[in-house]
Structure 1
Amino acid sequence: MTKLSVNINKIATLRNARGANNPNVVQVAKDCERFGAEGITVHPRPDERHIRFQDVLDLSEVVQTEFNIEGYPDRRFMDLVKRVKPAQATLVPDPPEAITSSTGWDTITHLTMLQDIVSELHGSGVRVSIFINPEAKYFTPAKETGTDRVELYTEPYAVGFPKNPEAAVAPYVEVANLARELGLGLNAGHDLDLHNLAFLKKSIPFLDEVSIGHALICDALYYGLENTIQMYRRKLENV
C-alpha cells in the first residue's frame, strides 16, 4: 500500500504572509493526519521562507504518522534532523536560492559525500531517502550510498502526462524496477496531482510513498482539506 505524505510547506507560506500564526501549521498537520494523511512532510530552507526550523521542532512533538524532513544536507539541516530523529530524511540537492526542487542528485559525482551523510543519519536511527532523476545510471551509485530509499523526481512525468501518459511514465517504470532489483525502497514526489497520480500508481504498484504538497493544497481551496486528502487517498487505493 502506498502511503500519502502531505507536504505542508504551503500552509506555512500562507501563515508567513501575515506574520502571525494563522493558519496554525501544527494544527493543520494534526488535522491532515486526522483526515487520513499517513505522513507529514516539511522542507525547511535556509531563509525559512515557509517552514521554519522552529516549526520542525514543534511538529516533532505532535506528528503521530511518519514525519519526513526533506532538504539540502548542510550542517544546520543535519543537526536539526539528528535532533528531531524523524521517521525519514529526504536529501535534495537544492541550492539555497531554489524556489522548488528541480532535479535529483548526481549520485556518481557526489557518491562519497552522500555515503558520509547517509552514514551519519543512520547513526541517529533515521531512514534516508535520496531525491533522484529517472535515469538508470544514478541507481547503482545510489545503492552504494547506503540509502534506504530513493524518491523519484516526477516533474518530467507530470509535464508529459497530458500528451502521452504511457511515454511519460515509461522511464519511471524502468528505474522503479531497477530500484526494486537493487533492494531500494521507492518514493515519488513533485507535481503529482489528482489527474496523474492514479496512473503513476497503476504503473508502479509497489511505490512505498508519495509526497504531495502544492497541488493538494490548491485542490483543498476548492474541495476542503479533509475531502481533498480522501480524494488523493482514493487515487492511490482504487487502482
Structure 2
Amino acid sequence: MRLQFLAITCIAWIAINYGSICLAEVTEKPDNDPSNFIDVSQEFVVCTGWHALCSASPDCRMNGDKADCDCLRVNEPHIVATSEIQDLVAKRMTLTKCTKEYPCDVDQAPVCKAIKDGKYEVDNVKYNWVSTYSYRGWCSLLEYKPIACDQYTPDYTGDLYWAICDAAPCTENPNSSNSDKPLSCQCRVKNTPFVGFGSCTGANGGIMSSFPLWAWDFQRNTYPFAMPGYEYVQGACATFKSDPLPSR
C-alpha cells in the first residue's frame, strides 16, 4: 500500500511539474516576437512657429541653480530635444506618441501644441515662450570655430559653468538692453565639459548658453548624431565651390 502511495505521489509530482514546463513553453514568447521590443522615443521633434532662440547668448547671468539668458524671438521651424522638455505632461505625451517606429512629423508632437498654444507649464506656471533650437544665424556661429571647453583638463582657464537652454521657459523682458533679444529665458546651469564658440569664457562676466562636449564632432565639424535638417545647413554654410572627387 505504501509503495502504491509513493508511486501515485511521484506520478502526481511529474504531472504537475511537466504541466508547468509545458505551460511555460506555451506562454513564453519567442525572441523575435514584436511585443518583446520596447519602442524607443524620438530624441528630437520638429515644430513650427514662434520660439525663443538662445544659441547666441554668451552673457547669461547666474541666478541660483538657473541662469537668466537674453534670447532672440524667432518665427521659424525649430527642434525640441524630447529629453529636455520641462513640462512634465507634454514630455510624457510626447515620449509616448513620438517613437522611432512611429515618429511624429512636423508639428505632430504634443509639445509643439503646448508651445504654440502658450500652455507650456513649468512649476505650475504657463509660459507663452519656450527656448528651443533652430538654425538662425548658424553659419555666422560656425565662423567662431567650436572649441572644447573641459574644466577638468590641466591649465584650463575658461568658465566652470554654462547654461543649457533647451526647452527652457521664457518671459518677455520689456526692459531689455538689447532690443534684438526681448526674451529672458530661465536656463539650467551645468558644470560639465561644453562647447565654446571661439572662447570658453562668457561675455560681460556672464556664462554662455551652449551644449555638452560629447554633442559635437570636432574633426568632422558636425553633430555626432542625426540632427534634423543639419545636412542642409552644412550645404548652405559651405563655400560656393565644387567638391573634389574622392581618390580612386
The TM-score normalised by the length of structure 1 is 0.23
Identify, as 1 or 2, the structure richer in strand: 2
Identify, as 1 or 2, the structure richer in helix: 1
Larger radius of gyration, structure 1 or 2?
Answer: 2
The TM-score normalised by the length of structure 2 is 0.23
